[in-house]
């Protein structure tokens, strides 16, 4: 176990990527001092924040004396190695690959498509060929499409693969559950209608029963609307 202390987390209340880090910190009994980056005001693109994360993504984790760690999954892996208990990855090689694969479906192939910077680009009309940007209704349809695609594929895997248990992999929460809960928190906050996902709903009930997940909910963070 490494000695990590004085952690600083650059965060925003409804950021799903920040949600992942909050759950992992909670599960491992770690704390981080949060710096509020107001995404609605575009602060993730301020010169000061771009020095911490040149891609302008939230969260970033800073440990005194070390370079910032960006990318929520890299932060989860860092916390896992620094504080191995409770584990967020299975003990076996194939289990770890499965959990990382499930997590990647959401973190790599779903979430990046519906971020504010994607909306900004689509709304500007750049690259559309027509010069006309998308409006609010088209953005909602875009979000609904990508959330539904990612979650339907995940549901198919979770419903049919033998390693699914109370949680995505077995009966303890792993990084896959953290990523799933982060996406479901966005679905809720953004009021997106998704197709029925019975296995995901069952797993989410187990996640939501845990204090570590409940405390990370967007509505409970500083800056959330009252």
Ligand X SMILES: N[C@@H](CCC(=O)N[C@@H](CS)C(=O)NCC(=O)O)C(=O)O
Residue 183 belongs to what H/E stretch?
A: helix 175-189
**Residue (39 or 187) nearer to ligand X, CB:** 39
Residue 216 touches ligand X, criterion: CB under 6 A: no
Total residues contacting ligand X by CB under 6 A comes to: 15
Considering only 83, 115, 164, 221, the residue that binds ligand X (CB under 6 A) is 115
Residue 39 touches ligand X, criterion: CB under 6 A: yes
Which whole-number Å values give the CA distances from 93 to 96, 117, 120, 218, in the listed order? Answer: 5, 36, 40, 33
The distance of closest approach from Cβ of residue 160 to ligand X in the complex, given in angstroms and rounded to an integer, is 27
Considering only 4, 9, 15, 217, the residue that binds ligand X (CB under 6 A) is 15
The first and second tokens of residue 5, run together, are: 């202390």
The distance of closest approach from Cβ of residue 59 to ligand X in the complex, given in angstroms and rounded to an integer, is 6
Residue 179 touches ligand X, criterion: CB under 6 A: no
Residue 117 touches ligand X, criterion: CB under 6 A: yes
**Residue (56 or 90) nearer to ligand X, CB:** 56
Residue 71 touches ligand X, criterion: CB under 6 A: yes
Residue 199 touches ligand X, criterion: CB under 6 A: no
Considering only 116, 133, 170, 223, the residue that binds ligand X (CB under 6 A) is 116
Strand order in the sheet with 33-36: 33-36, 8-11, 60-62, 69-70
**Residue (59 or 164) nearer to ligand X, CB:** 59
97-118 exposure pattern, b = at least 16 Cβ within 10 A, e = fewer: ebbbebbebbbeebbeebbeee
Give phi and psi for 33, each to the nearest 5: -80, 125
Give phi and psi for 189, each to the nearest 5: -60, -40
Give the torsion sign (CA, 153, 27, 4, 21).
Answer: positive
Contact 146, 113 (CB under 8 A): yes
**Residue (56 or 150) nearer to ligand X, CB:** 56
The residue with its CB nearest to ligand X is 57
Backbone conformation region of residue 127, classed left if phi is above 0, alpha if psi is from -120 to 50, else beta: left
Considering only 58, 114, 158, 200, the residue that binds ligand X (CB under 6 A) is 58
* Cis? peptide before 73, omega within 30° of 0: no
**Residue (44 or 197) nearer to ligand X, CB:** 44
Residue 62 touches ligand X, criterion: CB under 6 A: no
Query: Which residues in this chain contact ligand X in the complex, by CB under 6 A?
Result: 15-17, 39, 44, 56-58, 71-73, 107, 115-117
């Amino acid at each position: 176990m490494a000695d990590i202390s004085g952690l600083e987390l650059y965060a925003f209340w409804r950021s799903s990527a920040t949600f992942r880090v909050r759950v992992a910190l909670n599960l491992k009994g770690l704390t981080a001092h949060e710096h509020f980056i107001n995404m609605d005001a575009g602060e993730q693109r301020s010169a000061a924040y771009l020095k911490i994360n040149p891609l302008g993504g939230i969260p970033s984790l800073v440990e005194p004396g070390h370079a910032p760690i960006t990318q929520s999954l890299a932060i989860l892996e860092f916390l896992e190695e620094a504080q191995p208990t409770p584990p967020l990855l299975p003990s076996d090689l194939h289990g770890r690959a499965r959990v990382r694969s499930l997590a990647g479906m959401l973190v790599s192939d779903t979430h990046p498509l519906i971020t504010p910077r994607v909306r900004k680009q689509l709304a500007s009309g750049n690259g559309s060929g027509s010069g006309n940007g998308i409006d609010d209704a088209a953005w909602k349809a875009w979000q609904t499409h990508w959330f539904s695609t990612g979650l339907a594929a995940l549901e198919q895997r979770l419903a049919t693969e033998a390693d699914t248990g109370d949680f995505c992999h077995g009966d303890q929460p792993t990084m896959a559950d953290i990523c799933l809960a982060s996406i479901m928190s966005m679905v809720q906050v953004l009021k997106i209608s998704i197709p029925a996902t019975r296995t995901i709903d069952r797993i989410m009930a187990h996640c939501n029963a845990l204090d570590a997940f409940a405390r990370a909910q967007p509505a409970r963070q500083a800056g959330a609307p009252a």
